Amino acid sequence: MYGSLTDTHNRLIDYLKNGKFVEGIADFYDADVVQRENSGPPAHGRDHILANERRFQKKLKSYHGIDVHARVVDDRGNGNGTIFYEATMKWEQIDRLGTVVVDQAVVEQWKNGKIVSIRFYGNYDPGKLPD
């Protein structure tokens, strides 16, 4: 029913390489997903996370891509499993000087081909989101 989790994740990374963050959340996150950044409070639900991402997008001047440095996939079949990857992302923001460089590790739990839990560990704080 589902392809390999590696293939599915490659499609998600292609979205990110092309700056398609909103589309990636819409297409790859489960409706009841839980997302957490570092030790911040968890965000619950795809719709809530999509709204926050759209607000964050208002801060972007330009996006310079993502480089995935390492990835481990525990594919348990049928779109289920865990993915851990390390990546660097770069962009320009209207409220910060210079290029924002984010080095992070990401842990994703997948069920039925969708991310049900995602946690980011890295050096970035998005700050206040615009309304």
pTM of the shown model: 0.92
Annotated domain spans of the chain: 5-122
pLDDT of 63 reads 95
pLDDT 10s digit of each residue in the chain, 131 long?
Answer: 678 999 999 999 999 999 999 999 999 999 999 999 998 899 999 999 999 999 999 989 999 999 999 999 999 999 999 999 999 999 999 988 899 999 999 999 999 999 999 999 998 766 665 66
Give CA–CA dist 104/59, Å, rounded: 20
CB-count burial class (<10 Å; 0-12, 13-18, 19+) for 87: buried
5-122: in CATH 3.10.450.50: yes
pLDDT of 3 reads 87
pLDDT of 86 reads 98
Q: How far apart are the first and last CA of the chain?
A: 40
120 contacts: CB under 8 Å, gap ≥ 6: 35, 36, 37, 38, 104, 105, 106
